[in-house]
């Protein structure tokens, strides 16, 4: 969130962060408030089911009339009621080269599997976890002796740049879908 607000302020992304929403109080909410960005906390425990919580979150996010909705570090599965409301403008950031290592432990899983390369993926969100048309990806080598923390720090450096670039491309309307794949003007086809 901080990297994205910085990219907007520096003009690398043609827009501004209008709302930061979370499922609980966290450092991201505090940092957004410090930067004068509107915030909202929609706690799942206040709702009977994921669908009800997702519907409430949809109302909160929708009230800010966003051109793009970014899920980064959110760590919650969004129900179709939310995903469908923002179809084509809801992207997620994931710390692996999807479709490899989806889920909450992508970095740990990459290390445990012994891969030599992992990375970061920005993709459009669909009804499945860490799935949907891939917008951008970048590889990050796994170095001998990496821990989950050291590897994740290197991935985060890539993520900060990749997320800003993905947001810029979407907001500049340089992304379209063809047969379930993204085509990014100037980048070629991605799946």
Q: What is the pLDDT of residues 51-61, one digit of tens each?
A: 999 999 999 99
CATH superfamily label, 2-176? Formyl transferase, N-terminal domain (3.40.50.170)
On average, the pLDDT of the chain sits at: 94
- Look at residue 164 and tell me whether its pLDDT is greater than 50: yes
Residues 77 and 68 sit within 8 Å (Cβ to Cβ): no
Task: Give the torsion through C-alpha atoms of 95, 98, 102, 104, to 10 deg.
Answer: 10
Rounded Cα distance, 142 and 164, in Å: 23
Domain boundaries, the chain: 2-176
Number of helices (H), then strands (E), belonging to the chain: the values are 6, 9
Rounded Cα distance, 33 and 31, in Å: 5
**pLDDT tens digits for range 85-97:** 999 999 999 999 9
- Tokens for 88, please give them: 């084509």
Catalytic residue numbers?
94
């Amino acid at each position: 969130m901080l990297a994205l607000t910085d990219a907007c302020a520096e003009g690398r992304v043609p827009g501004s962060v209008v709302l930061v929403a979370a499922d609980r109080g966290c450092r991201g909410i505090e940092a957004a408030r410090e930067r004068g960005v509107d915030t909202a906390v929609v706690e799942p425990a206040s709702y009977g089911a994921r669908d009800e919580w997702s519907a409430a979150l949809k109302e909160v996010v929708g009230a800010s009339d966003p051109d793009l909705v970014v899920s980064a570090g959110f760590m919650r599965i969004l129900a179709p009621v939310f995903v469908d409301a923002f179809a084509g403008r809801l992207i997620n950031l994931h710390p692996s080269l999807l479709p490899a290592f989806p889920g909450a432990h992508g970095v740990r899983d990459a290390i445990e599997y012994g891969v030599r390369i992992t990375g970061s993926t920005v993709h459009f969100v669909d009804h499945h976890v860490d799935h949907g048309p891939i917008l951008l990806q970048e590889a990050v080598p796994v170095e001998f002796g990496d821990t989950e923390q050291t590897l994740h720090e290197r991935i985060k450096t890539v993520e900060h740049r990749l997320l800003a670039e993905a947001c810029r491309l979407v907001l500049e309307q340089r992304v379209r879908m063809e047969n379930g794949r993204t085509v990014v003007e100037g980048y070629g086809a991605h799946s």
